[in-house]
Amino acid sequence: KFDGTVPDTMTVFDRLGPLFECCDAIEECPQPVIAAVHGKCVGGGLDLASACDMRLCTEDAVFCLKEAGIGLVADMGVLQRLPHIIGQGFTRELAFTAAEFSARDAERMGLVNGVYADVKSLEDAARKLALRIASIAPLAVSGTKHVLNSGRFEHSKPFVRGVIMLSDALALGMR
């Protein structure tokens, strides 16, 4: 039972920690991970997609970082990951406006590597990309991923607990 106190917030973090860590697990996977997005990619979906190495989507995909729009601070790493993917300006626009962005907007931002007409085309493209990566020396691919990822987030993980506490405090203040 959550009563809104700081110790209780820490208990919530301890219980939800594995959920938050799922994005880290995707990012830390030694093999490249490809997100194939169709439909809405909102909140936690965007957290998961941003943890992937590459993102592809269908023409009808919509991307949104909704947390600020509902009085929360995004807390699964998306605010730390997106600036490396799309830059500070687009990240701040996504985060501060809670607006929905089309697949073409996401492509223009650099959030997705390609936009496809339908789910079948998307799945085919994701499979083709995965097979291309799989044809490369596995140690070279995993080593390259490790170098690309190294140091990017070593300073952000301690802040997650603070962000969760801030989100909880904001949510409590809105009641």
Task: Render pLDDT for 53-111 as a digit per residue (tens, 0 to 9).
Answer: 999 999 999 999 999 888 888 878 899 999 999 999 999 999 999 999 999 999 999 99
* Cα 104 off chain centre by: 18
| pLDDT reported for residue 28 | 92
Q: pTM for this one?
A: 0.80
Given a cut of 70, whether residue 156 has pLDDT beyond it is no
DSSP state of 20: H
Residues sharing a CB contact under 8 Å with residue 137, sequence separation 6 or more, in sequence order:
none
| Residue found by looking up tokens 């601070």 in the block | 73
The residue with greater pLDDT, 146 or 12, is 146
| pLDDT reported for residue 86 | 97
- Contact indicator for 153, 1 with CB cutoff of 8 Å: no
Q: Among 34-48, 69-83, 103-117, 142-156, whose mean pLDDT is lowest?
A: 142-156
Mean confidence (pLDDT) of the chain = 85
Q: Which of 3-12, 136-145, 148-157 has the highest mean pLDDT?
A: 136-145
